[in-house]
Amino acid sequence: MTITKAEEHADLADLPEPDAKAGVVDPPEPDAKAGVVDLLERSGSVIVPVGIALYALLYLGIQQVYGIFNISPEQAGIDQATMFGRLVGTLILLVIGGALIAGVAVAAVWLLDKATLGHLSRLIQALRERPWAAAALGALWCGASYWGFLGYLGLGEGASLAATVITAAVIGALSFLVPFRLLRRRPSGRAGMKIVVAAFTGIGLGFALMGQMESDAIAVAEKGRPASLLLSMVGFQDQWVVLNDRESGKVLRGGAQVLLLGEREGTYALYDCERQETFRISMEATVLRQVTLEPERPDGYSCMKQAG
Query: What domains, with CATH codes, occur in the chain?
Result: 46-223 (no CATH), 237-307 (2.30.30)
116-151 in b/e form (b: 16+ CB < 10 A) is: eeeebeeeeeeeeeeeeebbbebbbbbbbbbbbbbb
Kindly indicate the confidence band of residue 33, based on its pLDDT and cuts at 50, 70 and 90.
low
* Contacts with 238 (C-beta within 8 Å, 6 or more apart), sequence order: 220, 226, 227, 231, 232, 259, 293, 294, 295
What is residue 242's predicted lDDT score, i.e. its pLDDT? 92
H-helix segments, 116-176: 119-129, 131-152, 161-175
- By the 8 A CB rule, do 109 and 164 touch? no
Over residues 235-291, the pLDDT tens digits come to 898 899 999 988 888 998 888 889 999 998 889 999 999 888 999 999 998 899 888
H-helix segments, 153-235: 161-175, 177-183, 187-223, 229-233
One-letter amino acid at 110 equals W
What is the distance between the alpha carbons of residues 171 and 165, in angstroms, rounded to a whole number? 10
CA distance readout (Å), 159 to 11, 207, 211, 212: 75, 17, 16, 17
Cβ atoms within 10 Å, residue 95 = 15
Greater model confidence, 60 or 32: 60
- By the 8 A CB rule, do 233 and 90 touch? yes
Over residues 189-246, the pLDDT tens digits come to 888 888 899 999 999 899 989 989 999 999 999 888 888 889 988 889 889 999 998 8
End-to-end CA, the chain: 107
Closest CA to 186 of 194, 198, 176: 194
For residue 14, pLDDT over 60 is answered with no
What is residue 192's predicted lDDT score, i.e. its pLDDT? 86
What is the distance between the alpha carbons of residues 274 and 308, in angstroms, rounded to a whole number? 9
The secondary structure of residue 76, as a DSSP letter, is G
Share of the chain above pLDDT 70, in %: 83
Of 26-30, 146-150, 163-167, 291-295, least confident by mean pLDDT is 26-30
For residue 143, pLDDT over 90 is answered with no
- By the 8 A CB rule, do 269 and 262 touch? yes
What is the distance between the alpha carbons of residues 232 and 275, in angstroms, rounded to a whole number? 24
What is the distance between the alpha carbons of residues 269 and 286, in angstroms, rounded to a whole number? 12
What is the distance between the alpha carbons of residues 92 and 214, in angstroms, rounded to a whole number? 21
pTM beyond 0.85: the answer is no
Share of the chain above pLDDT 90, in %: 20
CA distance readout (Å), 275 to 137, 139, 194, 278: 51, 48, 50, 9
CA 137 to chain centroid, in Å, comes to 21
